[in-house]
Structure 1
Amino acid sequence: MAETVPSRGLDALGFIEREGSHARVPHVFRPVVAAARDRLLDVFGARLDSAYLYGSIPRGTARVGRSDLDLVAVLRAEPTGADRDAARALGEALDKEFPEIDGAGTLLCSRARVLDERERYDTGWFVACQCTPLLGEDLAEFLPRYRPDSLLARETNGDLARHLPRWRQRIAAADDREEALRPLVRFMSRHLVRTGFTLVMPRWNGWTSDLRDMAAAFAEYYPERAGQLCRAAGSGYEPVGDRTVLRSYVDDLGPWLADEYARVHGVKAPRPEGWE
């Protein structure tokens, strides 16, 4: 009998498969998903072009009381400050009402940005491969299929060096309360693990959104840094508010990763002001 070769998130032709679906949403999370769908319409109305779920809930891996609800709202025009305030209030309301989730957030962008050629291998890829349609027209129909190649690697995470100064500012401005530092640890841990994974993604030839699988793939090619990324993966799921962890990210792992990324894949193409 022929041995089954793992798909590593690719279809039979080698394209990245869309990873989530409504069928995978665990039953316990379906009420919050339904509420989010209705409230997105209430908040944005006719300005809403389409909306999506992403993250652990549509992948079917969410944990009750530990996982957050991740949404994308695509508007017919560029989001305003008022739109961002409304999205923030929506997330806070959902988080307060539904104990099944630990936080809720909504990414905002315009239809034009999703379909812009400059965003084809970043926002466009994200919508087409990592997002599950929730409302409106599925913009993946207007986007290409994607392979785990160097172009995708460069345009998704080839901008880490530009993030690091802002990360240092956020760390300096944060107080030392564990509950204040924990979200920073989770955010930066996840970002670094995903960057480490996409650094090796073309050689590994596949896609995964599981942080520990990402770290394991990275370890195949950079064993000397494997322990750091493995610990970051753990912090991405179970963060502890520790300033020393954050400092290690911006003083050691982050700069090394940014330099190695630029060497291997190059630097992400500049975007218009306000798109960063």
Structure 2
Amino acid sequence: MSGPPPDPRGLDPQGYIAPEGSLARVPPPFRPVVAAACERLPLVFGERLNSAYVYGSVPRGTARVGRSDLDLLIALRAEPTDADRADARALDEALDKEFHQIDGAATLVVGREQVLSELERHDLGWFIACLCTHLLGEDLAARLPRYRPDSLLARETNGDLALLLPRWRERIAATDGSETALRPLVRYMSRHLVRTGFTLVMPRWQGWTSDLREMADAFGAYYPARARQMRAAALLGHAPRGDAAVLRAYVDDLGPWLADEYARVHGVKAPRPS
């Protein structure tokens, strides 16, 4: 199916994906949180810290007080250890406890060499270059290429859904089935499926957006039979409810269909080390 004409939003004049966030866009209520993170990251990681970034709704300027979380990414000079990840979790907990503006904090810890590796160039590298806003240290985006919304980028970012679905089923089975336990899974899986659906059509749509509703609408223009499901997932990505039926539909219907269609259109993501 042909779908609508290309939509060049999110691209620079040369057709490359433009960085979507900046510190200037951080809403005033969240600026003290970002400032605290900048102050504490060097204290926690010291000389191990190579680079630090913020991403998500805060640098995009769309964060909502009491509803949005603080998403950080740090690249260490060496590969991260379990102790490094524990330090990151402790920092997240401290920030969440101190600042009512955020509904949690999450720090992704990676190694500098991993970011710059050929294997991660169109996944983690793209993520840092286009979706992260630099805070501290070396900006690794300067060592990475510019990116177009093409099939290679689609494959390497979200071409692994088939591998994720068994893990999702395990996570669902491991909960106690309560609304409280299921709500974060609905939020996470809804967002992941919407983003995967969007990158499926991204090379045809020829643009970039991180807005879940826009992603679902773009997908629906090419796959009208699945449009209602994807728009519902976008809504649940913003306002999740702990509904086991939603999760079953994700792992038994929408997810498997999307994984198969993704592999047919773009192929499967290059294998990563276990």
Taking structure 1 as the reference length, what is the TM-score of the superposition?
0.96
Aligned residues: 269
Q: Secondary structure at the match of 1:118?
A: coil
Q: Distance in 2 between matches of 1:81 and 1:6?
A: 43
Q: Secondary structure at the match of 2:21?
A: coil
Q: 1:215-251 deviations in whole A, cap 9, x for unaligned?
A: 0000010000001110000010000011111111000
Q: CA deviation at 1:92?
A: 1.2
Q: Is the 8 A contact 2:67 2:103 kept in 1?
A: yes
Following superposition, the deviation at residue 37 of structure 1 comes to 1.3
For 1:85-234, what aligned pairs fall within 5 Å after superposition? 85-234=86-235
CA distance in 2, matches of 1:80, 1:179: 30
Q: Which residue of 1 aligns with 2:66?
A: 65
Contact 2:7 2:205 in 1 (8 A): no
The answer to which of 209-218 and 7-16 deviates more is 7-16
**Match status 1:28 vs 2:29:** yes
Q: Percent identity?
A: 74
- What is the CA RMSD across the aligned residues, in angstroms? 1.0
Once the two structures are TM-superposed, the CA of residue 6 in structure 1 deviates from its matched residue by: 6.4
More moved, 85-94 vs 253-262: 85-94
1:258 is the counterpart of 2:259: yes
Q: Does the residue aligned with 2:66 lie in a helix, a strand or coil? A: coil
- 2:161 and 2:255 in contact (8 A); partners too: yes
Specify the SS of the correspondent of 2:87: helix
Q: Distance in 2 between matches of 1:175 and 1:244?
A: 14
Residues 43 and 200 of structure 1, relative CA distance in 2, 3 Å threshold: same
Q: Distance in 1 between matches of 2:105 and 2:251?
A: 26
Structure 1 residues 6 and 223 mapped into 2: Cα distance closer, same or farther (>3 Å)?
closer
Q: Which residue of 2 aligns with 1:77?
A: 78
SS in 2 for 1:117: coil
Counterpart for residue 3 of structure 2: none
Deviates more, 1:79-88 or 1:197-206: 79-88
Partner-residue secondary structure (3-state), 1:206: coil
The separation in 1 between residues aligned to 2:66 and 2:246, in whole angstroms, is: 25
2:8–2:208: 8 Å Cα contact kept in structure 1? no
What CA distance in whole angstroms lies between the structure 1 residues aligned with 2:88 and 2:37?
11
Structure 1 segments, 4+ long, off by >2 Å, are none
Distance 2:41 2:172 in 1: 32
